[in-house]
Structure 1
Amino acid sequence: MSVESDFIRGNTPAMVLAVLRDGPSYGYAIAKEINRRSKDLLRLRQGTLYPALRNLETKGWIEGEWIVTEGARPRRVYTISADGEKVLQEMVDSWKDLAVALDGVFTGS
């Protein structure tokens, strides 16, 4: 297991919540949006994404609904909940603090 895969797995909840903050989406589209936003540096695998979606839904941070459209496979579309919005903000704040701390470590200041 690489550091990169640990990083992605550990930050998948925040990345998913950040995408859903901008509107409802389904699994494949969430992964593609994370790839796009990261300029293809972060590639989310199905084996990481779908367990994370189930976990976020169990925690009540997102809500999923099956959508059936004629001629297409059913899709589970997710939206961020009010609790998910709060948790995301806490995660973002923690990341900002961590970035400052790491900058100090890396630059020696």
Structure 2
Amino acid sequence: MKADAVRGHLDGVLLAVLEAGPLHGYAIITAVQRRSGGALELRTGTIYPALSRLERTGLLRGSWESSGERRRRSYALTDAGRRRLADERTAWREFTAVIGSVLNPAPPAAGDTV
């Protein structure tokens, strides 16, 4: 799947994978790949700026943790992030319903004119 297909929906994707609990960047990338059946492969150059932006806007809370000698940043949803995720899901359902009605129109009823 083209990376452009995610554009405009990246925030919702990231918030959704963090809904179950905190993850670090690589684990987020892996979760997106797993949940999409391998169709979505986010690059670090895409994900980390988005995570930073979501943190700056208060939708995520980041914290540093140690793993052996390495430190990595873990991200968790804030209450505002949970509300935004709910909004993203509503917007997604509306978007897919509208596009679906265009791409897969219902057959005209008897007597209707196009």
The TM-score normalised by the length of structure 1 is 0.91
Indicate conservation of the 8 Å contact 2:3/2:40, yes or no.
no
Q: Does 1:103 align with 2:103?
A: no
* Partner residue, 1:19: 17
* Partner residue, 1:90: 87
- Report the 3-state secondary structure (helix = DSSP H, G, I; strand = E; otherwise coil) of the residue aligned with 1:13: helix
Larger radius of gyration: 2
- CA displacement 1:40-75 (0-9 Å, x = unmatched): 001001111000000000000000000123x23101
Gaps of 5+ in 1: none
- Report the 3-state secondary structure (helix = DSSP H, G, I; strand = E; otherwise coil) of the residue aligned with 1:29: helix
- CA displacement 1:55-105 (0-9 Å, x = unmatched): 000000000000123x23101011000000000100000000111111110
Larger fraction in helix: 1
Aligned counterparts of 1:72 and 1:15: Cα–Cα separation in 2: 30
Gaps of 5+ in 2: 107-114
The TM-score normalised by the length of structure 2 is 0.87
- Report the 3-state secondary structure (helix = DSSP H, G, I; strand = E; otherwise coil) of the residue aligned with 1:77: strand
Q: CA deviation at 1:9?
A: 3.3
- Report the 3-state secondary structure (helix = DSSP H, G, I; strand = E; otherwise coil) of the residue aligned with 1:66: strand
- Report the 3-state secondary structure (helix = DSSP H, G, I; strand = E; otherwise coil) of the residue aligned with 2:75: strand
Q: What is the identity, as a one-letter code, of the residue corresponding to 1:84?
A: G
- Report the 3-state secondary structure (helix = DSSP H, G, I; strand = E; otherwise coil) of the residue aligned with 2:15: helix
Q: CA deviation at 1:107?
A: 1.4
Aligned counterparts of 1:32 and 1:72: Cα–Cα separation in 2: 22
* Count of aligned positions: 106
Q: Following TM superposition, where does structure 1 have runs of at least 4 consecutive aligned residues deviating by more than 3 angstroms? A: none
Q: CA deviation at 1:15?
A: 0.8
Give the superposed CA RMSD.
Answer: 1.3
% identity of equivalent residues = 37
Aligned counterparts of 2:19 and 2:54: Cα–Cα separation in 1: 14
